[in-house]
Amino acid sequence: MEFIIYIAIVGAVLTVGGAMAVNILLGKAKLANIEEVSYSGRFSMEKISTAVSRAESINSPFPSGSFGPALSLKMSDASKNPTIFDTLGGAVRMQEGLGPIIELTSSEVTVSYINFSNISYPNTPGTARIEMRLKSGDFEKTFYTTANIYE
């Protein structure tokens, strides 16, 4: 009888311990997804905002009030003109002039939505609004920013 009680107690402890280990591993995986999405989103938005602030004007979407899945900027540096941001295969991409296409998001993250809006006021250099939704695993987050062209 004591042996059966001992086996039941050990079984219960092992079951609880196993469940805790599974929860810890699942929590770690979810945290990794959150970190990956957050890093890729912040990095991409920073690159886009910096490029917009250094641009001369917005080529597309054009005219003001229009929107689309790509952003083309007229740059004063001929080697970076135009600078284009778009998506392909679930990644945010950047190309400066005739340079190589660079993926801004990691391979662990998928872009499920992106929209560039030209929200410039008349007689201003230009303003772009960027909305992007990134996903990794079962975690998804939407990022927003607005960037101004500085004269």
Amino acid occupying residue 139: F
pTM to 2 decimals?
A: 0.81
The residue-averaged pLDDT of 30-44 equals: 92
Instruction: Kindly indicate the confidence band of residue 7, based on its pLDDT and cuts at 50, 70 and 90.
Output: confident
What per-residue confidence (pLDDT) applies to 134? 97
Instruction: Specify whether the CB–CB gap between 73 and 52 falls below 8 A.
Output: yes
Residue 101's SS3 state is strand
The residue-averaged pLDDT of 90-99 equals: 95
Best CA proximity match to 107, nearest among 51, 34, 37, 29: 37
* pLDDT above 70 coverage of the chain, percent: 97
| 60, β-bridge pairs | 72
82 vs 64: CA distance, rounded Å: 18
95 vs 110: CA distance, rounded Å: 19
Per-residue pLDDT tens over the stretch 99-126: 999 999 999 999 999 999 999 988 888 9
Task: Map out the domains of the chain as residue ranges.
Answer: 2-148
Phi, psi (deg, nearest 5) at residue 113: -165, 140
Judge whether residue 131 has pLDDT over 80.
yes
E strand map for the chain: 55-60, 67-68, 71-75, 83-88, 91-96, 101-103, 110-118, 127-136, 139-148
The residue-averaged pLDDT of 131-144 equals: 95
Positive or negative, the CA dihedral 81, 87, 88, 91 is positive
16 vs 86: CA distance, rounded Å: 48
What per-residue confidence (pLDDT) applies to 123? 84
